[in-house]
Structure 1
Amino acid sequence: MNYRTIAETIVSELNHTLLSVSDQKAREFVDLVDAADEIFCAGAGRSGFQIRGFAMRLMHMGKKSYVVGETCTPNITENGVLVICSGSGSTKSLVNHAGKAKSVGAKIALITIDPDSPIAQMADVVVEISAPSPKSAKEGDIQSIQPMGSLFEQSEGLFMDASILMLMEKNHMDSDTMFGRHANME
């Protein structure tokens, strides 16, 4: 395949996965994040890279956002929300984070392929993204030309970017407002 064919196929796959997300679940996700005093973001592997971008945009909005595992991340309380990106919804370290958040009364939002996973059972909001992954129960049900969990990882990143746009609208912000919080020590 040539580049153009590959690019068109990937865009088509992303169109399918992003449009399969429930608008109601997206709004519930945005409302949960918006209502929290602090937002804690967790993910492993490539999902961890995606959630870091979400934490950064939340910071640009003036929200108190943290990446779980960083040395400057405080403790989570009942007024916080833990946002987890996990295709399988069963990564052991993330299951442990969810259990801790639940034990202190914090809310949990999960972006996943598997809405029946262990983390989903603890979550207040579950956003399902229909994408294949070698670790997913849906492997083989949905096809992708991309390797491993690439389609899910791209889709979760774009879902979180769309969520930021929804949060911006809800909070009457624009890109210029947010740019004032952009890093100036690069």
Structure 2
Amino acid sequence: MSQKIFQQAAVVAKEIAESIQQVDAVQVEELIERIEQSDAIFLAGGGRSGLMIRAFAMRLMQMGYKVHIVGDTVTPAIGARDLLFIGSGSGETQSLVAMAQKAKDIGSAIAVVTVKPESRIGELSDAIVQLPGSTKDQNQDTLVTVQPMASLFEQTMLIVLDAVILRLMEKSELHSDQMFGLHANLE
């Protein structure tokens, strides 16, 4: 690897650290409470945000939470005691807005990680974690970034959601070695 790659990686790491410092801890704790109160957690996101959501879903499952990825063929119906958790930088992705509205009509709780809490999904949500960054089609960074499109938002979301897992583990006195019992074994 050239020295330039290491320099770029250091810039990205610095941007993520600065982004994380802007996250509201109260909002994160509200998300954690919603997760703990839910019978099941349904997770959704599009594109790279959806990949971050899937990583979070995997860790929740390994902790013993009942989780479902919206759109999978084996995903059951959502209920009034469940949580729909969405990762969406813009909060305006049409399919995700429709999901949030349907969940709201059913009486489910909704949580979102987004750049835009004033978005349509934000307005439907019971818990919002606002992250700095830009959406894929808008440059509205609260931080200057060298990264394309919504990369800083997506990276910050992954790190913040990993921190949520650590907090949930701490609250339930669960250790990483205990989670291995639910780790995939058909790999």
Q: TM-score, normalised by structure 1?
A: 0.96
Q: Which residue of 2 aligns with 1:11?
A: 13
Matches within 5 A, 1:123-134: 123-134=125-136
Paired residue for 1:160? 161
Following TM superposition, by how much is the alpha carbon of 1:134 offset from its aligned partner in structure 2, in angstroms? Answer: 3.7
Structure 1 spans left out of the alignment, 5+ residues: none
Tell me how far apart the structure 2 counterparts of residues 140 and 173 of structure 1 sit (CA, whole Å). Answer: 36
C-alpha separation between the residues in 1 aligned to 2:134 and 2:99? 24
Indicate which of 21, 29, 34 corresponds to 1:27.
29
Q: How far apart, CA to CA, are the structure 2 residues paired with 1:44 and 1:135?
A: 14
* SS in structure 2 at match of 1:116: coil
Give the match for residue 83 of structure 2: 81
Over aligned residues, Cα RMSD in angstroms? Answer: 1.2
Change (3 A) 1:12 1:92: same
For these two proteins, the number of residue pairs brought into alignment is 185
Matches within 5 A, 1:27-176: 27-136=29-138, 139=140, 141-176=142-177
Residue type of the alignment partner of 2:177: D
SS in 2 for 1:139: coil
Runs (5+) with no aligned partner, structure 2: none
What SS is found at the alignment partner of 2:159? helix
For 1:140 and 1:81, the matched residues in 2 are separated by 29
Shift of 1:133: 2.7
TM-score, length basis structure 2: 0.95
* Letter paired with 2:21: L
The one-letter code sitting in structure 1 at the alignment partner of 2:121 is I
Q: Distance in 1 between matches of 2:61 and 2:141?
A: 38
Percent of residue pairs identical: 42
Is the Cα contact below 8 Å between 1:87 and 1:135 reproduced in 2? Answer: no
Contact 2:133 2:141 in 1 (8 A): no
